[in-house]
Chain A
């Protein structure tokens, strides 16, 4: 299995370089590379499955100059356990769909923004990002995760400002600064761990003393919050919607923002003494985030900004699940982790629909789009499936994760209140999404409804997205059940 994982880590970067230098055919190369990466990831998970829940661990390097005993242990490697395979599958499958979609989206026929040049750099950064996320997913310790984490930060900056307009550049810069400040927190926490715990393992936080442990945890939490756009670091995500839509679908719904919650999940899964204060902080932050995000739904006219706020709220859900894990409700934790997968595919599909609308009609404004159902029935169907999947309608994706979270919520004190709050949020979000769907797709067609036809790559991606919305829990639930402390 060693070569498979090594190839899995190397191929995206090699592919990125290839796409960067190809003068023509960067699109086809990128799609091929993404397909290969997806296949490799599936093979890796398949082969590691019998070894779950302990997972499969391989190492390939050490830093002999590291002080305090760290020089002799293998610091770099790959860990394939249920949690990382969930992330791995999410990242590679959605990555492939997004790359496929991009080949159709970034052309000069795009009505919203005609992309005439920049293919090389786009696919370079996209595949580089894919590789970095794979790295984050299989990292066996905090150090390696940090390395890949920062790589994703830089890719995000590059991809958000891809169109090089003033607005896009500012948005990319804002994202870079905020996520990087979080990354600095991560670095300081790593320094703490190096000096006081002499270990970078996920369990290392347990070796620190009381105040130090809290400080390190808060720093890591700040990093996670910044990356996952939780309050108070959430302001970069709505502005990051200046990115081309496939990037929004990938980075800001399925992959990069999930890295933050993935970090928190990893910390909780590693068994170390976590005081319930941490859980309280997580829970409070998550609830404030959900509240803030839901309130902002109703003021958005830009479809992508609405989806961005929805992403923020759903990441809050994952944090709620993680907080429940700290309080001892392992089922709630599993629900939170499952939500990473389910929300990723559902929100990805929704973003791809938004992109299709922008491609065809040239606008993302909800008030301007009307009656699109007649011209773009596939997009309408995908939007409905995505909206139902993201708000928790059975048997689609997030119903199962929300079920586990709701079931877990009752394990904590005042769980009934928490359950009620989450249920209310769920229904409100559902209502708003259906309302928006109605506004966009039903009714008499407006002027913007004169659309250009969608290329096959985009239509196929939408269909795959819809299928994922249905099938994700089939893979996700068994995986998640194997995540044990």
Chain B
């Protein structure tokens, strides 16, 4: 049994699992664990298969399971190294998300679980299908299938109008994007001789088009780009994302924000690395992708700063983080014809950021969900002081926030550092990437700021929960475990980046359109303790040894603490004072008086208001991301009248007919003499006719 067949088996298991969950969905306590079992079973099959592909560095495929006659497309599973990487991600995240959902979904008392678990499992099956498809047609089939399943999960809460609107926007925009991609696929199919949808044929076609019809190739690439960028969430195509992800239940939202958006990146890698040869197209599109990425970074992260809803904040950060990946990948694609090693490095940085992002983004969505689970609230203005109630979640959230902000020694730092390295060092003659890299660097600060908002608003300060709620303590273990696991992964990838980079190197190397793929050691060194980047294939241009740094920091902190204890300054409680006036100690430090938000009580409630942190930014940047309302179209009335055939054609005809027949019917007077006269007239007419005809 080769790896692809194992993956197929795992896929099949998910389909069966969906059916099984559909059958038992009435038993709310049973369906969650059942779904989890199926997902774990599927991961058990998929994980080793993906690992084996990466380890052996060789693609695996099943034969054609279903051939579509005439269009030369067939359903077959093909696992190459890039697919294997994404399969690994899916295989790890899927069970975690399902485990997380088990207690979470029990809170939705009014909603049946029939619309959640089966669709959740089908969604995972769709993800597997997307990365394992061997030709473009079935890729798009699975792509759309995945989108539709996720759409149903977004509109899970039936009564919520905003969720419905968000879901509508989501499915319409992504369906439009898929339609564009389908057009591109069909045009590619048509151009291939013989007509075929397979990846190999598409590759050959694109190489041919690069030489003969460059405009058409640009059009096709634009269509592919738009399609994948919509799914990835690049603004303005990703307008749907901040509305849709918060609407889904947290287990699903985590998978969407953590995984599904990254599959847009997978698509871009597939098209722009695997399909397109390294030539001037790469140059152009590399710039396009990088600029799109940079704009996502800027717009996404800054808009996130203004958000008060924790899940919406996370969703905007999905957009922002996607931007980082796109920036790196775009830089890499640009560099493909120029400097293979730097290109490889840049792309690896982007993919490494992707893997890290999966870890911490999913983690952050989980924590936001946990907050909502415990406190029933996602608004950061109303959450407060959850640290005391849920310390474990708090620690996980802290780790996740620091990772996403790129604070060493967590994984976010490692990948961001590689990205800056690749873009800033870049190509001397092209200052664009330098500019973009510096922009990314600065926006990183904004990321940190917004996550301080998140942490501070949700976890710090006095708790706002009622006593009996606080008694319950942290979230159930089924929800804690995924968080802790992912936090551990963040730390692991941060301390030992080589863990991920080895696999990523294999994955990227498989699709890189260069003559020879630079070896891992030549790019990032070969030490497990850290990274030694060499962009130009010789000297090391950047060095990062997290363990060493961590050790040094630990030593330094221990020393500082010893000094502090040695100093043993006395402590005493003092009233807080501010600018010469004593302030009531109950007031929190960051105080914002917004009377309209507060109840009109005499007792002023001390709250750690999240929006108080960045109110000036809010005002300035709210306009950065305006929401475009759907256009309301009407038709000019005269135009519509043309299509109302009844009014101007059939109606008058019928009335005319009625008048004529009415006139004729008056001969039917009922009087016998009239009929006799008619007979006579007829008789005479016939005689005359006969006479004439005889002659």
* Interface 1/0 per residue, B651-664 and A, CB below 8 Å: 00000000000000
A residues within 8 A CB of B640? Answer: 295
Docked pose: A395 CA to B138 CA in angstroms: 9
Q: Quick one: which of A334, A394, A430, A441 contacts B70, CB cutoff 8 A?
A: A334
A60 CB–B CB distance under 8 Å: no
Given contacts A406-B186, A434-B168, contact A394 B158 (CB under 8 A): no
B residues within 8 A CB of A331? Answer: 70-71
Q: Quick one: which of A296, A400, A419, A434 contacts B172, CB cutoff 8 A?
A: A434
| Chain A: CB-nearest residue to B66 | A474
Q: Quick one: which of B112, B171, B190 contacts A434, CB cutoff 8 A?
A: B171
Docked pose: A443 CA to B158 CA in angstroms: 6
Q: Quick one: which of A377, A416, A477 contacts B68, CB cutoff 8 A?
A: A477
Q: Quick one: which of A295, A406, A481 contacts B183, CB cutoff 8 A?
A: A406
B187 CB–A CB distance under 8 Å: yes
Docked pose: A406 CA to B179 CA in angstroms: 11
B residues within 8 A CB of A406? Answer: 182-183, 186
Docked pose: A384 CA to B151 CA in angstroms: 11
Cross-chain pairs A/B with CB under 8 angstroms, 5 sampled: A295-B640, A331-B71, A374-B158, A403-B186, A423-B183
Q: Quick one: which of B112, B148, B168, B646 contacts A377, CB cutoff 8 A?
A: B112
Count of B interface residues, CB-CB < 8 Å: 44
Count A-B contacts at CB 8 Å.
102
B residues within 8 A CB of A184? Answer: none
Given contacts A438-B167, A443-B159, A481-B70, contact A399 B141 (CB under 8 A): yes
Whether A407 contacts B168 by the Cβ 8 Å rule is no
Whether B643 contacts A295 by the Cβ 8 Å rule is yes
Given contacts A235-B650, A423-B183, could you give 13 more A-B pairs where the C-beta distance is less than 8 Å?
A178-B650, A295-B640, A296-B643, A331-B71, A371-B158, A384-B152, A388-B148, A393-B148, A393-B175, A399-B144, A416-B187, A419-B183, A442-B160
B residues within 8 A CB of A223? Answer: none
Whether A394 contacts B140 by the Cβ 8 Å rule is yes
A234 CB–B CB distance under 8 Å: yes
Size band of the interface chain A makes with B: 35 or more
* Interface 1/0 per residue, B130-148 and A, CB below 8 Å: 0000000100110011001
Interface residues of A in 395-426 (CB under 8 A from B): 395, 399-400, 403-404, 406-407, 410, 416, 419-420, 423, 426
* Interface 1/0 per residue, B545-589 and A, CB below 8 Å: 000000000000000000000000000000000000000000000
Q: Quick one: which of A178, A234, A410, A444 contacts B159, CB cutoff 8 A?
A: A444
Q: Quick one: which of B144, B167, B176, B186 contacts A394, CB cutoff 8 A?
A: B144
| Chain A: CB-nearest residue to B143 | A394
Which residues from chain A sit less than 8 Å from chain B, CB to CB?
Answer: 178, 231-232, 234-235, 292, 295-296, 298, 331, 334, 371, 373-374, 377, 384, 388, 393-395, 399-400, 403-404, 406-407, 410, 416, 419-420, 423, 426-427, 430-431, 434-435, 438, 441-444, 477-478, 481
Docked pose: A171 CA to B589 CA in angstroms: 74
B620 CB–A CB distance under 8 Å: no
Whether A427 contacts B187 by the Cβ 8 Å rule is no
B residues within 8 A CB of A419? Answer: 183, 186
Whether B183 contacts A393 by the Cβ 8 Å rule is no
Whether A410 contacts B187 by the Cβ 8 Å rule is yes
Interface residues of B in 612-655 (CB under 8 A from A): 633, 635, 640, 643, 645-646, 649-650
Which residues from chain B sit less than 8 Å from chain A, CB to CB?
Answer: 68-71, 112, 114, 137, 140-141, 144-145, 148, 152, 155, 158-161, 163-165, 167-168, 171-172, 175-176, 179-180, 182-183, 186-187, 189-190, 195, 633, 635, 640, 643, 645-646, 649-650
B residues within 8 A CB of A234? Answer: 645
Whether B167 contacts A427 by the Cβ 8 Å rule is no
Docked pose: A478 CA to B141 CA in angstroms: 19
Interface residues of A, dominant DSSP? helix
Whether A404 contacts B183 by the Cβ 8 Å rule is no
Given contacts A377-B112, A420-B183, contact A403 B137 (CB under 8 A): yes
Docked pose: A374 CA to B159 CA in angstroms: 9
Whether B155 contacts A442 by the Cβ 8 Å rule is yes
Docked pose: A403 CA to B185 CA in angstroms: 11
Docked pose: A404 CA to B158 CA in angstroms: 36
Q: B114, B140, B645: which has the most chain A beta carbons within 10 Å?
A: B645
Given contacts A394-B140, A395-B141, A481-B69, contact A426 B159 (CB under 8 A): no
| Chain A: CB-nearest residue to B633 | A298
- Chain B proximity of A293: nearest CB distance (Å): 9
Docked pose: A394 CA to B114 CA in angstroms: 22
Whether A438 contacts B69 by the Cβ 8 Å rule is no
| Chain B: CB-nearest residue to A430 | B175
Whether A442 contacts B70 by the Cβ 8 Å rule is no
Whether A441 contacts B645 by the Cβ 8 Å rule is no
B residues within 8 A CB of A384? Answer: 152
Docked pose: A371 CA to B164 CA in angstroms: 11
A residues within 8 A CB of B190? Answer: 407, 410
B residues within 8 A CB of A434? Answer: 168, 171-172
Whether A477 contacts B645 by the Cβ 8 Å rule is no
Interface residues of B, dominant DSSP? helix
B residues within 8 A CB of A298? Answer: 633
- Chain B proximity of A402: nearest CB distance (Å): 9
| Chain A: CB-nearest residue to B216 | A416
- Chain B proximity of A320: nearest CB distance (Å): 15
A residues within 8 A CB of B646? Answer: 235
| Chain B: CB-nearest residue to A435 | B168
- Chain A proximity of B164: nearest CB distance (Å): 4
Whether B71 contacts A404 by the Cβ 8 Å rule is yes
- Chain A proximity of B565: nearest CB distance (Å): 61
Docked pose: A331 CA to B71 CA in angstroms: 9
B residues within 8 A CB of A478? Answer: 69
A residues within 8 A CB of B137? Answer: 403
**Shortest 4 CB-CB distances between A and B: which pairs?**
A394-B141, A442-B164, A431-B172, A235-B646
Docked pose: A119 CA to B27 CA in angstroms: 41
Whether A407 contacts B155 by the Cβ 8 Å rule is no
Q: A235, A394, A416, A477: which has the most chain B beta carbons within 10 Å?
A: A394
Docked pose: A384 CA to B145 CA in angstroms: 14
A residues within 8 A CB of B633? Answer: 298
Docked pose: A319 CA to B183 CA in angstroms: 21
Q: Quick one: which of A232, A393, A399, A443 contacts B645, CB cutoff 8 A?
A: A232
B residues within 8 A CB of A178? Answer: 650
Docked pose: A393 CA to B180 CA in angstroms: 14
Q: A296, A435, A438, A481: which has the most chain B beta carbons within 10 Å?
A: A438
Docked pose: A407 CA to B185 CA in angstroms: 10
Given contacts A419-B186, A442-B155, contact A426 B164 (CB under 8 A): no
B residues within 8 A CB of A235? Answer: 645-646, 650
A residues within 8 A CB of B182? Answer: 403, 406, 423
| Chain B: CB-nearest residue to A438 | B164
Docked pose: A427 CA to B172 CA in angstroms: 7
- Chain B proximity of A337: nearest CB distance (Å): 13
Docked pose: A346 CA to B68 CA in angstroms: 21
- Chain B proximity of A61: nearest CB distance (Å): 37
Docked pose: A393 CA to B126 CA in angstroms: 13
- Chain A proximity of B220: nearest CB distance (Å): 12
- Chain A proximity of B491: nearest CB distance (Å): 41
Given contacts A430-B172, A438-B155, A442-B158, contact A404 B70 (CB under 8 A): yes
Docked pose: A196 CA to B76 CA in angstroms: 55
Q: A232, A235, A334: which has the most chain B beta carbons within 10 Å?
A: A235
A residues within 8 A CB of B165? Answer: 438
Docked pose: A430 CA to B114 CA in angstroms: 24
Q: Quick one: which of A394, A404, A443, A477 contacts B161, CB cutoff 8 A?
A: A443
Whether B69 contacts A371 by the Cβ 8 Å rule is no
| Chain A: CB-nearest residue to B148 | A393
A residues within 8 A CB of B650? Answer: 178, 235
Q: Quick one: which of B69, B144, B171, B649 contacts A477, CB cutoff 8 A?
A: B69
- Chain B proximity of A444: nearest CB distance (Å): 5
A residues within 8 A CB of B69? Answer: 477-478, 481
Docked pose: A410 CA to B195 CA in angstroms: 12
Given contacts A232-B649, A427-B179, A431-B172, contact A395 B145 (CB under 8 A): yes
